[in-house]
């Protein structure tokens, strides 16, 4: 009996899972275990953390689990992090408060989706046209002041420590049975979407709908949702939404999602410095891995994935959306002086990237 041949998308997903074993994480756990072996395991009870991700389990297997596995192995019994996925302990919209009051110790999420009570939360997740490529996110944080701005903002919030931000996938719109070939086709579509991009896209009649992450696929099958405006091709294929959606809009609203790691400050301060550094290092490793995984995988799935028909809005019509984003930026900038700093950083960065030209723009 022969195995059933893999479909093109299955081959791509399998190759990317093999890639995860070869690069970064398969070796990370093994190496960490080897390095940790000579050390004496502390005789006291290990520090226990509970971390919840914005992500459901299928995608979380890639964007968070490898990092937590690597940390737990390298911590050598001194600390253990229990990982939970979207809505498993608390609803995603309550993640921030649950972390602040100590119900959970740490979070991986964007600022907007988990309702962070800071003036810059609108920039977490997908801020329209703020980025073109995944490397734009770490560049903005390292060279254009976003690290300092995020530290300042969360420094004003009791019992929450912001640790790091990195890039995820671009934002595309996937629909079940209503293709989008013009802006008019968006009118009335009910989509599961992230808050900021959803607010912006509602200008064109798109209706953002909030349901638990695990209910999205069923909601599309029953007609409660017409599609998703939540992710890129990677997530659509990895979690099964591409099996339900028939159409994929190639016009990208944003080139990369802003995601962050946070910790309850009291929990963080109980972690000894060497384990804090280990946690930060595995976060950095996670950022590095995701840049490769998304960058290569998004392109292959868009070109070689067979499950969805690609549609596009003509450039002359899409240019009006880009122009509308400028007004949206100015509207958000007027909300607070700190928001204005972030928007100015986006403008300065875009100006430099445009002048730099290929391969930056």
Instruction: List, for residues 57-109, the tens digit of each pLDDT value.
Output: 999 999 999 999 999 999 999 999 999 999 999 999 999 999 999 999 999 99
Domain that holds residue 89: 9-36+44-168+257-300
Strands 171-175 and 47-53 turn out to be unpaired
Domain count, the chain: 2
Query: Do 206 and 67 belong together in one domain?
Result: no
Query: Do 63 and 207 belong together in one domain?
Result: no
Residue 2: predicted pLDDT: 54
Query: Do 157 and 263 belong together in one domain?
Result: yes
2 domain residue, yes or no: no
Mean pLDDT of the chain: 91
Query: Do 210 and 314 belong together in one domain?
Result: yes
Query: Do 177 and 71 belong together in one domain?
Result: no
Instruction: List, for residues 5-59, the tens digit of each pLDDT value.
Output: 788 777 777 775 665 565 555 444 433 433 444 444 444 789 999 999 999 999 9
Q: Is the pLDDT of residue 119 over 60?
A: yes
Q: Is the pLDDT of residue 152 over 60?
A: yes
Q: What CATH number is attached to the domain comprising 111?
A: 3.40.190.170
Query: Do 134 and 208 belong together in one domain?
Result: no
> Between 262 and 33, whose confidence is greater?
262
Query: Do 57 and 112 belong together in one domain?
Result: yes
150 domain residue, yes or no: yes
């Amino acid at each position: 009996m022969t195995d059933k041949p893999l479909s093109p998308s299955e081959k791509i997903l399998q190759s990317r899972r093999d890639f995860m074993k070869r690069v970064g994480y398969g070796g990370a756990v093994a190496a960490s275990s080897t390095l940790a072996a000579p050390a004496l395991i502390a005789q006291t009870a290990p520090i226990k953390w509970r971390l919840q991700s914005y992500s459901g389990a299928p995608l979380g297997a890639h964007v968070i689990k490898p990092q937590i596995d690597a940390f737990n192995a390298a911590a050598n019994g001194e600390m253990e992090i229990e990982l939970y996925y979207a809505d498993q302990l608390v609803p995603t919209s309550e993640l921030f408060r649950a972390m602040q009051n100590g119900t959970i110790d740490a979070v991986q999420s964007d600022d907007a989706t988990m309702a962070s009570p800071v003036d810059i939360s609108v920039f977490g997740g997908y801020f329209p046209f703020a980025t073109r490529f995944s490397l734009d996110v770490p560049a903005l944080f390292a060279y254009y002041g976003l690290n300092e701005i995020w530290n300042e903002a969360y420094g004003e919030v009791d019992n929450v420590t912001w640790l790091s931000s990195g890039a995820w996938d671009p934002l595309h719109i996937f629909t079940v049975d209503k293709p989008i070939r013009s802006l008019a086709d968006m009118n009335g579509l009910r989509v599961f979407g992230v808050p900021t991009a959803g607010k912006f896209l509602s200008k064109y009649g798109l209706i953002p709908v909030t349901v638990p992450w695990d209910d999205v696929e069923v909601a599309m099958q029953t007609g409660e949702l017409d599609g998703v405006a939540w992710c890129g091709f990677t997530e659509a294929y990895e979690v099964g939404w591409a099996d339900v959606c028939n159409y994929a809009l190639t016009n990208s609203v944003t080139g990369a999602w802003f995601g962050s790691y946070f910790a309850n400050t009291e929990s963080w301060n109980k972690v000894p410095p060497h384990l804090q550094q280990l946690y930060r290092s595995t976060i950095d490793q996670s950022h590095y891995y995701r840049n490769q995984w998304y960058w290569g995988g998004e392109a292959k799935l868009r070109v070689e994935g067979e499950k969805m028909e690609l549609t596009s809005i003509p450039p002359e019509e899409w240019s009006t959306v880009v122009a509308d984003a400028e007004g949206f930026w100015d509207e958000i900038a007027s909300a607070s002086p700190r928001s204005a700093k972030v928007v100015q950083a986006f403008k300065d960065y875009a100006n430099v990237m445009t002048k730099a030209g290929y391969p930056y723009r």
